[in-house]
Amino acid sequence: MGQQVDFDIVVIGAGVVGLASAYKIQLHHPGISIAVLEKEEQLAAHQTGHNSGVIHSGLYYKPGSNKAKTCAKGRKELVAFAREHNIPYEICGKIIVATRAKELAKLEEIFQNGLENEIEGIEKIGPDEINEVEPFCGGIAGIKVPCTGIIDFTKVAKKLGELIEVQSSGSKVLTSHRVTSLDRHDFYTKVITNQGALTGRYIINCAGLQCDRIAEMDGVETKMKIVPFRGDYYELTGQARDKVKTLIYPVPDPAFPFLGVHFTRKIDGSVECGPNAVFSFKREGYGKTDFSFRDCWDALSYKGTWKMFLKQWKYGLAEYERAFSKKLFLRQLQRLIPSLQADDIKPGNAGVRAQAVGRRGELIDDFLIKRRGNAIHVLNAPSPAATASLAIGDYINQMATEYFKLKD
Ligand SMILES: Cc1cc2nc3c(=O)[nH]c(=O)nc-3n(C[C@H](O)[C@H](O)[C@H](O)COP(=O)(O)OP(=O)(O)OC[C@H]3O[C@@H](n4cnc5c(N)ncnc54)[C@H](O)[C@@H]3O)c2cc1C
């Protein structure tokens, strides 16, 4: 252990997961130095800065899963963190709405799941109560979820970045530092970036859409690949904004890990509707026609992607149609708000989800975090990882404390 290093820990990726992990480790081990390396000029440039900004309750997730374990805990911590650091948030609640009789069984299943996950205050509601909360919503039955909220996760990420540097003078959050390769040695790793090399005793990979590539640089056999899914949003215009008071979600398709096209009143007062979910030809491409040869090659030369396409082709085609047809997108939205018209929506933002896909084409649903030697790799941190970030940070701190034998 005599080797001199620049930092005790190097975290790769300054999204909310990397920053929350560094923050939690620093909090529990004030004496150690951490570098968080981010390839972009600013923090939260990808998934964290392009998400719906929803503080999820945790009612959907399989009891006992990592998502279920960290979402409710992370939500409570996130709210306390926002309050402490004056980050605007609102616990506005949401409703999940069935619009067709065939969705009622799934709605009941979600409700029972919420009870099992001990989500506070959830209740079943009928059409009248749905309209008390959302007068324009046309549902036949629903679930009211009072503890759901909204926040700007970019603000959360920036505050975490500030605190990491304040907590220890030896720690740094370095933007415009793209990690290009890793050179492993017995007791340290040389991290090569576009701005030169630095050394760290331990590595934590939180690179989101690029996490499988960083893991490969570290020689990890991941048995998965990141396949990017773009989600396009529309925004409600003018007076149509008044048609949504809080958050309105459909009953999700059980075969797919995404929550379906929903309405979200954001913390800045705008109302977003979406996202859909289509295969993206570029991992960090936010336009409908963005393309990267490398990203396409990586995804399409992987058998798991084709197996996934075969399993999900019907769903995938429908999503593609909606991506290019406002009319079809609107029709989907009208299931929840029947009076919505084409003039009421205009194109909004887009986000790309990092979806880990296994070799048999299965969409890996739960958070996946692996240790190998002197490194921890976060290989799947989809929604609700932003909500759960502080709890994921605690989990990674526990792993780091145990495996890296960190001292206080
Ligand atoms: C459309 C959409 C909607 C969502 N809605 C919600 C929601 O409402 N609520 C919720 O809780 N979750 C939501 N999520 C999920 C949530 O946003 C993500 O789970 C979370 O942001 C993941 O954070 P991360 O830090 O792992 O990844 P990211 O935020 O993607 O951060 C990874 C970082 O690593 C950096 N990086 C990559 N490669 C390198 C390299 N070689 N060198 C240096 N840096 C590198 C990237 O630039 C990036 O900044 C949504 C996601 C999407 C895409």
Tell whether ligand 1 has an atom less than 6 A from the beta carbon of residue 182: no
* 202 in Cβ contact with 404 (< 8 Å): yes
The mean-pLDDT minimum among 50-54, 141-145, 197-201, 311-315 falls in 311-315
Q: Which atom of ligand 1 is nearest to the CA of 180?
A: 41
From its phi and psi, is residue 74 left (phi > 0), alpha (psi between -120 and 50) or beta? alpha
The burial class, CB within 10 Å (0-12 / 13-18 / 19+), for 1 is exposed
**What's the predicted TM-score (pTM) here?**
0.97
How many Å apart are CA 277 and CA 256, to the nearest integer? 10
1 pLDDT more than 90 = no
Q: Which atom of ligand 1 is nearest to the CA of 274?
A: 1
With H, G, I as helix, E, B as strand and everything else as coil, classify residue 169. coil
How many Å apart are CA 125 and CA 119, to the nearest integer? 16
* 378 in Cβ contact with 20 (< 8 Å): no
User: Cβ contacts of residue 72 below 8 Å, gap of 6+?
Assistant: 57, 58, 117, 118, 119
Percent of the chain at pLDDT exceeding 70: 98
Residue 65 CB coordination number (10 Å) = 14
Tell whether ligand 1 has an atom less than 6 A from the beta carbon of residue 206: yes
Backbone dihedral angles phi then psi of residue 346, each to the nearest 5 degrees: -135, 155
Q: Write the residue with the smallest CA distance to atom 1 of ligand 1.
A: 351
Residue 300 CB coordination number (10 Å) = 13
Residue 31 CB coordination number (10 Å) = 11
Return the closest-CA partner of residue 72 out of 315, 314, 388. Answer: 388
Return the closest-CA partner of residue 211 out of 365, 351, 44, 381. Answer: 381
Stretch 278-286: mean pLDDT, rounded? 94
Stretch 61-87: mean pLDDT, rounded? 97
224 pLDDT more than 60 = yes
CA dihedral 67, 70, 74, 77 (to 10 degrees): 170
Tokens of 350: 């887009």
User: Which band of pLDDT confidence, cut at 50, 70 and 90, is reported for residue 2?
Assistant: low
Backbone dihedral angles phi then psi of residue 240, each to the nearest 5 degrees: -60, -25
Q: Write the residue with the smallest CA distance to atom 3 of ligand 1.
A: 51
How many Å apart are CA 364 and CA 381, to the nearest integer? 10
H or E element that contains 369: strand 368-372
H or E element that contains 77: helix 66-84
3-state SS of the chain: helix, strand, coil percent to 5?
Answer: 35, 25, 40
User: Cβ contacts of residue 272 below 8 Å, gap of 6+?
Assistant: 52, 233, 234, 235, 236, 263, 264, 266, 348, 349
Tokens of 50: 């392009």
Tokens of 16: 């909310």
Stretch 372-376: mean pLDDT, rounded? 95
User: Which band of pLDDT confidence, cut at 50, 70 and 90, is reported for residue 257?
Assistant: low
Strand partners, 236: 345
How many Å apart are CA 81 and CA 164, to the nearest integer? 14
Strand partners, 278: 230
Chain centroid to CA 246: how far?
Answer: 20
Q: Which atom of ligand 1 is nearest to the CA of 350?
A: 1
Task: Quick: pLDDT tens for 354-365.
Answer: 999 999 999 999
267 pLDDT more than 70 = yes
Task: Quick: pLDDT tens for 87-138.
Answer: 999 999 999 999 999 999 999 999 999 999 999 999 999 999 999 999 999 9
DSSP string, 241-268: GGG-SSEEEEPPPTTSSS--SEEEE-TT
Stretch 67-88: mean pLDDT, rounded? 98
Mean pLDDT (the chain, rounded): 94
Decide the pairing of beta strands 179-184 and 123-125. unpaired
Residue 366 CB coordination number (10 Å) = 17
- Residue 352 alpha carbon to ligand 1 centre in Å: 9
Quote the pLDDT of residue 48: 98
Q: Which of 11, 36, 48 is the best mutation target for the ligand 1 pocket, counting ligand atoms within 8 Å of the beta carbon and taking the most? A: 48
User: Which band of pLDDT confidence, cut at 50, 70 and 90, is reported for residue 258?
Assistant: confident
